[in-house]
Structures are given as structure tokens and as C-alpha cells.
């Protein structure tokens, strides 16, 4: 009997130590990244500035004071991000950078969702933009003015008129800042 218990115990130990795992993950489980590389232990580069544009501008090294109600701004070296209410249920994230360092083919949104619609268009004010979204909504907008990159992202989506309004706010802020300089649309 002792020999049988010994063999049974040895069998259970060898099965448990073999690394075999019969537990299946649910089919809708999020795939874990295979390599985290340099991201592990990396400090968050963003500084929350609340409503203090001056602090954000000091951190980023340039100005981007949009005239908005109800906003929150954060910054890192060479980038400013402003989150504000588009309406009662949607928030828009607008970013600006003065360097190619953050640009992914002109996209600085930080949104990597592969949307089915990707288009380039020119707005009524002759500003060329790139948009990503679906047939009925725009989720990401990118544009460049005078070698400065901008993006706008709304998780719930925007229509073209809302995107034009956001672009106009950006153009007006930059025109006001550079009132004596001519803005180059690129």
C-alpha cells in the first residue's frame, strides 16, 4: 500500500511540476503583450497642469493657449494635450507638438485603433487634414500648420462640422499668437 501511495504521490507531483495548464482563457480575453521591453518601469512623461496653460507651455517649450471653457491640460517636453467637453457626453483630446519625434506619419493622437475609413480632405478654410473613423463618424483628426503637428481624438466620434470647429479653434489660436507672421499650411 505504501508503494502505491508513493507512486500516486510521485505521479501528482510530476504532473503539477510539468507546467501543463489545462485552464483555457475566455475567447474574449485581451491578448497580453508579448514584449513590454523598455515600457516596464518607465515613468509617466505627462505632467497634469489642471487649467494652467503657462505651466504646460513651460514644460513643452511652446505656447498653445486655446480659448476653451471647461478644459484640462497636461504636458511633456515638446507636447501639450488639452481635454475639453465637446458636449455633455463627449470629450475631445487635442494635442500639439513642434517636433517630428512624436509624429507617426503626421499622426500624434496616440490612438492606434485601425479604423476602416482613412481619408485626406481639405476643410472649407483650405486646411488639409487626415481623418480616421467609420462611414458616419470621425474619431481621429490630424493636421500640420507651419511644421507643427496637431491632432484631435474623440472616443465617441465626431461629425465633420465638429472637426471643422476644432480646426478653426486651433487656427484662430495660432493666428492670434502669430498675428504678424503668415501661417503656412502644410
How confident is the model over 85-140, as pLDDT tens digits?
999 999 999 999 988 777 777 889 999 999 999 999 998 778 899 999 999 999 99
Measure the CA–CA gap between 153 and 143, rounded to whole angstroms. 12
Determine, yes or no, domain membership for 14.
no
Asked if residue 29 is part of any domain, the answer here is: no
Is residue 169 included in any domain, yes or no?
Answer: yes
pLDDT confidence of residue 172: 83
Least-confidence region, from 57-66, 79-88, 101-110, 143-152: 101-110
Average pLDDT for 28-47:
63
Residue 20 belongs to a domain = no
Is the pTM of the predicted complex or chain greater than 0.85? no
Within a domain: 11? no
Whether residue 78 is predicted with pLDDT greater than 60 in this model: the reply is: yes
Residue 13 has pLDDT above 90, yes or no: no
| Domain count across the chain | 1
Q: Which residues span the domain enclosing 158?
A: 43-177
| Residue 74 contacts residue 48 (beta carbons within 8 Å) | yes
Whether 1 maps to a domain, the answer reads no
pLDDT band at 27 (very low <50, low <70, confident <90, very high): very low
Residue 161 covered by a domain:
yes
pLDDT of residue 37: 58
Is residue 94 in some structural domain?
yes
Amino acid at each position: 500500500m505504501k508503494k502505491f501511495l508513493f507512486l500516486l504521490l510521485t505521479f501528482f507531483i510530476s504532473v503539477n511540476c510539468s507546467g501543463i495548464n489545462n485552464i483555457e482563457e475566455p475567447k474574449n480575453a485581451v491578448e497580453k503583450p508579448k514584449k513590454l521591453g523598455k515600457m516596464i518601469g518607465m515613468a509617466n512623461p505627462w505632467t497634469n497642469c489642471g487649467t494652467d496653460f503657462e505651466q504646460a507651455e513651460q514644460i513643452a517649450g511652446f505656447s498653445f493657449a486655446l480659448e476653451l471653457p471647461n478644459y484640462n491640460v497636461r504636458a511633456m517636453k515638446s507636447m501639450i494635450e488639452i481635454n475639453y467637453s465637446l458636449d455633455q457626453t463627449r470629450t475631445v483630446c487635442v494635442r500639439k507638438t513642434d517636433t517630428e519625434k512624436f509624429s507617426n506619419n503626421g499622426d500624434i493622437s496616440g490612438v492606434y485603433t485601425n479604423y476602416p475609413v482613412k481619408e485626406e480632405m481639405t476643410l472649407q478654410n483650405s486646411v488639409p487634414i487626415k481623418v480616421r473613423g467609420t462611414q458616419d463618424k470621425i474619431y481621429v483628426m490630424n493636421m500640420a500648420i507651419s511644421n507643427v503637428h496637431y491632432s484631435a481624438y474623440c472616443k465617441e466620434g465626431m461629425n465633420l462640422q465638429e472637426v471643422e470647429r476644432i480646426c478653426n479653434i486651433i487656427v484662430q489660436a495660432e493666428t492670434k499668437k502669430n498675428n504678424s507672421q503668415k501661417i503656412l499650411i502644410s
